[in-house]
Copies of this chain bind each other. A is one copy, B any other.
Amino acid sequence: MEPNRREVASNAASSIVDPLAPNYGDVHYEALQSMWLSFQVWTTVSCLTDELKEHTVLLRGWIQTIRPMSKKMAFLTVRENGCTVQCVLTAQATDVLVSEDMIKYATSITKESFVEIEGVVMVPRHAIKDASQQVEVHVRKICCVNRAPRVLPLSVEDASRSEAAIEKALQNGVQLVRVNQDTRSKYRFMDLRTPANNGIARLQSQVLNLWQFLLNEDFEEIRSPAINEGSSEGGAAVFKLDYFGQPACLAQSPQLHKQMAICGGLPRVFSVTDVFRAEKSYTHRHLCEFTGLDVEMVITSHYFEVMDVVDRLFVEMFDTLNQNQKCQRLLQAIKNQYPFKPLKDAGIEVDPLGDLNTETERALGKLVLEKYGAEFYMLLHRFPLADRPFYTMPCHDNEAYSNSFDVFIRGEEIISGGQRVHVHEKLETRAIECGIDVKTMSAYMDAFRYGAPPPHGGFGVGLERVVMLLCGLDNIRKVSLFPRDPRRLAP
């Protein structure tokens, strides 16, 4: 709100020059091209509490709603970082700080425009229903930084509404707009402005950061290539591309490279990377591109050592989510629109079973919940070898079974892991048994031929699926920042 910025472009709302005209209007584009460096102090909307009563503050944010009450009064809701505050303009006879022209200008600003406001914080007598902050800002200056068009593809207000609110209105005979998932995904840059979706994106950032916990357990973070020769794990569902004339594909997981890092003398590694699945799955929990946390480690005697790491990682995660104030605030914002129950975690272990489909998984989840009161549990071990990838270590006493495990949250699989075959001849035999053309993964095979790696194991987790299940969401597209499925390649 520098004086120069008040050289506004379009405040000629009235033919008679308003003496308050310098206090409102659209900001010149030029002034937004880093014309000067300002040392003004801005207050975030989330910081607007009664502690600031009668203080003059500078705010920035998106206009969420505009309510003109009369020529002399209007309310604006300004949103920033998922928080909202009610801003008031009153042109009283006694108030020479706000003119009718200023109100006319303010109410002409379109929804979802970005504005800057200078105002005084006031504490109203009654609770404010339609904003997160329980103070009002009495506007003294207002300027529009970037103006949104009048017609928008979705209303943030509509997109923020809970299913319960829509149902309740319907009972009162009012049909409110329900924004469907496809519209949300298409206009994700607007959908993300709702407190719940903004909260999910921020919570995902917290979960990502929590994975750095593995550094405390002597893991090193590695980066593995997305573009690979052949088909990454022998599966058919890979995206193929041309790499300077060579056939290549996108990695289905960093599996082969994290194992090669083990061969390279990095005994504990993890990677956080994009993984790709060219599968035509149209379910609530499948994406064609997602973020995988992949962990691999040398074991001294048993792959239970790997499961101990899973356990410590997830307990750390649950503890932080339950105790960290920021996480609690985010979970609350998500819950306001998408209600869910907090997760009951326990280290229950369930015994041998074959590979499960979604329905069986959920039925099992219900069973475990009823019997053990747990929604986070490991399902181990001895998965039939035929249901696991070729690199899975068979059980020592019966090669029809394998040293592998799955982990579940709210009845859905989120982690697969196990011990790997570390001896070249055995690995090659298993690959051939699984119908894989070993020539297409010769570099990986070489690592075992010349690498003489120690026994090792690991696991893989999908970020979006973890966040979806932590928050009890019904669709993984609510978590992925820019989801990719067989029908969606943009934005």
Contacts and interface: CB of A to CB of B under 8 A. Distances in A.
A364 interface: no
A22 interface: no
A39 to B, nearest CB: 9
Contact of A208 (B205, B209, B221, B393): B221
Nearest to A30: B396
A148 B244 contact: no
Given A33-B403, A301-B37, A220 B240 contact: no
Given A202-B266, A266-B201, A225 B482 contact: yes
Contacts of A172: none
Contacts of A426: 29
Chain A interface size, under 10 / 10 to 19 / 20 to 34 / 35 or more: 35 or more
A201 to B, nearest CB: 6
Given A33-B419, A114-B452, A423-B146, A81 B212 contact: no
A463 B302 contact: no
A243 B204 CA distance: 26
A250 B225 CA distance: 13
A468 to B, nearest CB: 14
Contacts of A148: 450-452
Given A240-B241, A443-B491, A34 B152 contact: no
B396 A190 contact: no
A147 to B, nearest CB: 6
Interface in A467-491: 480-482, 484, 486-487, 489-491
B221 A205 contact: yes
A261 to B, nearest CB: 7
A34 B393 contact: yes
A189 B447 contact: yes
B38 A301 contact: yes
Interface in A224-258: 224-229, 239-244, 246, 248, 250, 257
A371 B273 CA distance: 42
Contacts of A223: 204, 208, 274, 291, 463, 480-481
Contacts of A453: 114, 146
Contacts of A419: 33-34
Contacts of A318: none
A442 B455 CA distance: 50
Given A33-B393, A301-B34, A215 B209 contact: yes
A442 to B, nearest CB: 8
Contacts of A244: 278, 280, 486-487
B304 A452 contact: no
Contacts of A68: none
A340 interface: no
A289 interface: yes
Can you list the 5 inter-chain pairs with the closest CB atoms, starting with the nearest? Answer: A192-B264, A443-B491, A38-B301, A33-B396, A148-B452
